[in-house]
Structure 1
Amino acid sequence: MTNLVRIAPGALTIGRPLPWNVYDADGNVLLRQGYVIQTNSQLEQLFERGRFKPRKIERPQEEIFEDNRERNPFADYPDLLHTLEATLNAITGADPSAHKRLLGLARMIERTCTESPDASLALIHLYSIGPVIHEQILFHAILCQFIGRQFGLEEKRISVLTTAALTANLALVPIADKLNASNKVLSNEQRGVIRKHAERSIQALRSAGINNKLMLTIIAQHHEQADGSGYPRGLSGTDIRPEAEILALAERYIAMITKRAYRDRMDVANARKLIANLADGKFRPAIPKALLQVLGEFPPGILVRLENNEVGVVTGRPVRARGPFVKAIFGPRGNRYAGTFERDTSLPEFNVRALEEPEIMPSIDFGLVWGLNS
């Protein structure tokens, strides 16, 4: 198999699902997408032997910045991250193509969320244990798509909100991963960078010729709070754009379910409780309510233990009277099933008993579980 690329050190992490199939130099599959690396020695072997196949976009003479293939969130994940990184670099470099790149990426994310909503939400929860900054930004944009639509924003405003979510933390990109990996108290200098990141992101966008007024307003206001306790201007109430509150809530939810060096990640049940409490003063009540409706009690991508003691992964949100769609991956005695088995969680023996929050995700063949072609 040609066009295979060696895996760079740092691209893979113990305890997180593989973002793509891994091949040997002859093109034979070593590990499937979704497999979770368990040990350091296994990781070293993959860096030594492993290759992956980038899903490159064929470009005609006039370069385009949008991929119109049928969307598969899991197979597209590495490409979305690569495109996001290239887009942010184009903005900071004041590249003339920056605006087209940003709009094209936003449309790709919109199509992904529209065509595969449950799989898009699953992507967030499957990769949320220790995401790097580009992953977090992608998750913010995905959540903004869903919250904005549930809140009732018109499509044009959702599109602008998505571009704001992709660029609001532009100024934090160089330092975010280092901050998240540190268990030390922030220095005054670091706090200053964080408080000014929205302003600096806006400056970079303007320098790149990106001047959408609504987009820049969303970024400027996304750390304001309805009770006036936010920054930089201490705005309150309806002086804050609802799009800015949606972005702020998306960022807060991702932070809740993400592990940091200085704290553990929060399980979805506790995150939902905190979101419900945010309706009391910090946000206009309809926005936390919209996020709770998007997630449901058991969001796609989380693991649950059933009444019969099986462990399964939630693949879809409830429809009408039935519970969440779950596919069992472990048997009652902890044995890993060779395949997956659909369980009707409205039946007593398959009711959801509890959430499972592993520090290391089990290996999951995403294509098999969600029935998507890679």
Structure 2
Amino acid sequence: MRIVPMPESLLRAGQPLPISLRDGRGGLVVARGTLLPAGADVRALLRRAAWADADEIDSWQRKGRVAHPARQTSGPRAGDADAAHWSGLPARANRVLREPADAGFLAALTQLHDELLDRLDHQPDKALMALIRLASASTDHYSATHGLLCAAAAALVARQLPGWSAADCRSASLAALSMNVWMTALQDELAKQRAVPSVAQRAVLEHHAHGSAKLLRDAGVDDAHWLEAVEHHHDSVSGPLAPRSKGRQMARVLQRVDLFTARLSPRRTRPAMSAAAAAQAAYQGEDGRPDEAGMLLIRALGIYPPGCLVRLATDELGVVLRRGAKANLPQVAVIADSAARPHALQTCRSVTEPIKAALAPHELALDLPLGELLSLAQR
């Protein structure tokens, strides 16, 4: 049996369970067809059993039962299997990152990382779109979702650096995934908190880079570059990368990636920013000049990365599906006309004229099922 994460979106209080819930070893916990009580705590249920049989999911999807409730479509979509995977990934990452003292932590972390990078290698635009859509949609599992997106972005940036080996690139993306492991719970808490951080919370924030490096070292990490990158990922020193040690180069990449991706995610005290605003923050260093690591980030992801919302030169509204030949000319699915009347998601269009504006998620309140977007991106 091959088990995969059970997406929380598939569990609805007051309705029968569409797929059996299983534990981490594949053992049956709640059978398919069991009626979830109207007041069922779905998240509490997922803490006991967060997995499902992949074959059972595939069979269910083939029967056409994965229709998005807001659209009431009939028949399965090609992107639903991908959507189920990506939707369940933050919860899985959250479970790993919240238990750094667990005996199996390092093995679980590297397995999570390698699965993420495998998908990124095979379909980078789909991976970026899924992660950016998830990061911009909710504050749930904020820290884990942020870590996954940072790892993907860091991997793409690292591959552009001359002289970096495959091992160096792996160290950088592992560091990005684990750089906040000392404060996973606090990051989640702060994402939902309206009040300013308390004195105790600020102390954790100020020392989390050192604390994360120590936790990783205690867990068995002996990669000096990985540890140095984590320990210094909040250093705010702009300028060229070449004079720095390999670990400090990685740290600077992480600092820019962290800055960029954090702005794409909402918090209780502010909405997510547009991709253009996030790109501007990463591009310009602390000295007010273009930053080398920031420029590499924009080159890798584009000014308008997959998953971001844009207003085209025609005033139509779209979501970016794939990066284009140039950072400012992505491939876009038109989702609404100039009056914001929704279009059916049918085609991907290469942008030939400059994007008129990047939009923050809260500026366009349209239903965009992840499965449909992933399916369209695959064409």
Bin of the TM-score, shorter chain as denominator length: 0.7 to 0.9
| Residues 329 and 341 in structure 1, CA contact (< 8 A), matched pair in contact too | no
SS of 1:370's partner is helix
Asked if residue 325 in structure 1 is aligned to residue 331 in structure 2, the reply is yes
2:342 aligns with 336
Say whether the 8 Å CA contact 1:54–1:79 is kept in structure 2: no
Residue of structure 1 in register with 2:64 after alignment: none
1:311 to partner: Cα distance:
1.6
Give the CA deviation at 1:242. 0.6
Residue deviations 1:65-119, cap 9 Å, x none? xxxxx997633224432432343345322x1x32222222221111111111111
Aligned equivalent of 2:129: 122
In structure 2, the residue matched to 1:176 is 187
Is it true that 1:287 corresponds to 2:308 in the alignment? Answer: no
Rounded to whole Å, the distance in 1 between the matches of 2:109 and 2:4 is: 27
Residues 236-277 of structure 1 show CA distances to partners (whole Å, capped at 9, x for unaligned) of x62561111111111111222222233343322222222222
Q: Residue 278 of structure 1: SS of its match in structure 2?
A: coil
* 8 A Cα contact 1:4 1:25, kept in partner: no
The alignment partner of 1:317 has SS state of strand
Once the two structures are TM-superposed, the CA of residue 322 in structure 1 deviates from its matched residue by: 9.7
In structure 1, the residue corresponding to 2:145 is in which secondary structure? helix
Name the CA distance, whole Å, in 2 between partners of 1:271 and 1:225: 17
Please state how far the C-alpha of 1:302 moved relative to its aligned partner. 1.2
Cα distance between partner residues in 1 of 2:369 and 2:11: 10
> Which of 88, 92, 104 is the equivalent residue of 1:83?
92
CA contact (8 A) 2:213 2:230 kept: yes
Q: Judging changes above 3 Å, is the alpha-carbon distance between structure 1 residues 212 and 219 closer, same or farther for their aligned structure 2 residues?
A: same
Question: Measured at CA, do residues 344 and 136 of structure 1 come closer, stay the same or move farther in structure 2, by a change above 3 Å?
Answer: closer
Alpha-carbon spacing, 1:183–1:191, altered in 2? closer, same or farther (3 Å): same
Residues in 1 aligned to 2:268 and 2:119: alpha-carbon distance in whole angstroms: 31
Alignment correspondent of 2:143: 133
Q: Which residue is 1:160 aligned to? A: 171
TM-score of the two chains, using structure 1 as the length reference = 0.72
Q: 2:268 aligns with which of 233, 256, 261?
A: 261
In structure 2, what is the equivalent of residue 313 of structure 1?
Answer: 319
Q: Name the CA distance, whole Å, in 1 between partners of 2:119 and 2:80.
A: 5
| Structure 2 residue aligned with 1:41 | none
> Structure 1 21/149 Cα, relative in aligned 2: closer, same or farther at 3 Å?
farther
Mean Cα deviation higher: 99-108 or 314-323? 314-323
**CA displacement at 1:281 relative to structure 2:** 7.3
1:356 maps to 2:359:
yes
Q: Secondary structure at the match of 2:278?
A: helix
In 2: Cα distance, 1:174 partner to 1:25 partner = 32
Match of 1:37 in 2: none
| Aligned counterpart, 2:118 | 111
Contact preservation (8 Å) 1:71, 1:112: no
- Which sections of structure 2, spanning at least 5 residues, go unmatched? 20-36, 56-78
- Read off the aligned partner of 2:366 and give its amino acid letter: P
Aligned Cα RMSD in Å? 3.9
Q: How many residues align?
A: 322
CA distance in 1, matches of 2:85, 2:5: 17
Larger relative contact order (C-alpha < 8 A, sep ≥ 6)?
Answer: 1
2-structure distance, mates of 1:244, 1:71: 36
Alignment of 1:1-374 (within 5 A): 24-25=15-16, 27=18, 54-56=51-53, 74-93=83-102, 95=103, 97-129=104-136, 130-131=138-139, 132-152=142-162, 153-226=164-237, 238=244, 241-278=248-285, 280=287, 285-319=291-325, 323-346=329-352, 352-359=355-362, 361-371=365-375
What's the CA shift for 1:26? Answer: 6.5
Q: Structure 2 vs 1, CA of residues 86 and 128 (structure 1 numbering), >3 Å: closer, same or farther? A: closer
How far apart, in 2, do the equivalents of 1:81 and 1:158 lie?
22
Deviation at 1:289, TM superposition (A): 1.0
Q: Which moved more, 1:150-159 or 1:138-147?
A: 150-159
Secondary structure in structure 2 of the residue aligned to 1:355: strand
Aligned-partner Cα distance in 1 for 2:195–2:365:
27
d(CA) in 1 for partners of 2:176, 2:324:
28
8 Å contact from structure 2 (residues 259, 281) kept in 1: no
The percent identity for this pair of structures is: 21
Q: CA contact under 8 A between 1:151 and 1:287: conserved in structure 2?
A: no
Rounded to whole Å, the distance in 1 between the matches of 2:253 and 2:327 is 29
- Whichever residue aligns with residue 278 of structure 2, its letter is A
How many angstroms apart in 2 are the aligned matches of 1:117 and 1:176? 27
Q: What is the CA–CA distance in structure 2 between the aligned matches of 1:214 and 1:293, rounded to whole Å? A: 24
Q: 1:252 to 1:88 in 2, by over 3 A?
A: same
Structure 1 residues 222 and 332: CA distance shift in structure 2, 3 A: closer
Question: What is the match of residue 63 of structure 1?
Answer: none
